[in-house]
Structure 1
Amino acid sequence: MNSVAVLLVALALALAVAPSASAAPGYVNWDFMVFRLMWPGSVSGGNAVPSGLNGFSIHGLWPTNNDTSGPSQCTHEAFDESQISSLLPEMNVEWASIWPDSKGNEGFWAHEWTKHGTCAAELSVLGSQYKFFNGVLQLKAQLKVLDALQSAGIYPSNSKTYTLDQIKSALTDAQMPPLVFCMPANKADGAETSSPPILQAIELCVDTSLNVYTCNDAMQKAAASRGHCWSDAIGLPEIVH
Structure 2
Amino acid sequence: KLLFLTQYYPWIHVTNILCFCFPQMSANDCQDPPEYWTIHGLWPDKGEECNRTWHFNVTEIKDLLSDMRHDWPDVLHSSLNRTQFWKHEWEKHGTCAATLQVLNSQKKYFGKALELYQRIDLNSCLLKAGIKPSSSYYQMPAIKEALTTFYGVTPKIQCLPPEEGEKAQTIGQIEFCFTKELQLRNCTTLKGESDPMQAALKLGTEELSVCSDTLPTYYPSQVQ
Equivalent residue, structure 2, for 1:92? 69
Q: 2 CA distance for matches of 1:44 and 1:226?
A: 14
2:141 aligns to what? 165
- Note if 1:133 corresponds to 2:110: yes
1:62 counterpart (35, 38, 43): 43
Give distance in 1, aligned partners of 2:118 and 2:210.
27
- 1:143-172 Cα offsets, whole Å, 9 max, x none, are 111221222221111x11111111111111
Q: Which amino acid aligns with 2:179?
A: D
Partner secondary structure for residue 83 of structure 2:
helix
Aligned match of 1:154: 131
Give 1:115's match in structure 2, choosing from 85, 92, 117: 92
**Contact 1:73–1:115, Cα closer than 8 Å, also in 2:** no
**Separation in 2 of the partners of 1:91 and 1:125?**
19
- Which position in structure 1 is the counterpart of 2:217? 234
**What code does the residue aligned with 2:13 have?**
V
Structure-2 change in CA distance of 1:183 and 1:101 (3 Å): farther
Q: For structure 2, which runs of at least 5 residues remain unmatched after alignment?
A: 21-30, 201-206
Distance 1:205 1:48, change over 3 A: farther
Identity %: 31
SS in 1 for 2:124: helix
Tell me which amino acid in the other structure corresponds to 2:181: S
**Greater fraction of residues in helix:** 1
Is contact 2:33-2:75 (8 Å) kept?
Answer: no
Q: Are 1:44 and 1:100, in contact at CA under 8 Å, matched by a contact in 2?
A: no
Q: Distance in 1 between matches of 2:19 and 2:148?
A: 30
In the TM superposition, residue 73 of structure 1 has moved relative to its aligned partner by 6.7
Cα separation, 2, equivalents of 1:33 and 1:110: 19
Deviation at 1:226, TM superposition (A): 5.9
Equivalence for 1:19: none
The one-letter amino acid of 2:43's match is W
Please give the residue correspondences for 1:67-86 in structure 2 after superposition, counting only pairs within 5 Å.
Answer: 70-71=46-47, 74-75=50-51, 76-86=53-63
| 1:95-145 Cα distance to aligned partner (Å, 9 max, x none) | 112248999431111110011101111121111100110110111011111
- The answer as to whether partners of 2:39 and 2:71 remain within 8 angstroms in 1 is yes
TM superposition score normalised by structure 2:
0.76
| Equivalent position amino acid for 1:166 in 2 | A
Q: Return 213-222 or 160-169, whichever deviates more.
A: 213-222
RMSD value, Cα: 3.0
Partner of 2:4: 34
Aligned length: 198
Quick check: 1:216 aligned with 2:188?
Answer: yes
Q: Does the CA-based 8 Å contact 1:184-1:193 persist in structure 2?
A: no
Q: What runs of 5+ residues in structure 1 fail to find an aligned partner?
A: 1-30, 65-69
2:158 aligned with 1:181: yes
More divergent stretch after superposition (131-140 vs 227-236) = 227-236
Bigger radius of gyration among the two: 1
Alignment-mate amino acid for residue 172 of structure 2: Q
Q: In structure 2, how many angstroms separate the alpha carbons of the residues matched to 1:94 and 1:221?
A: 23
Partners of 1:127 and 1:239 lie apart in 2 by 38
If the length of structure 1 is used for normalisation, what is the TM-score? Answer: 0.71
> C-alpha distance in 1, partners of 2:72/2:113?
9
Distance of aligned partners of 1:193 and 1:114 in 2 relative to their CA distance in 1, 3 Å threshold: farther
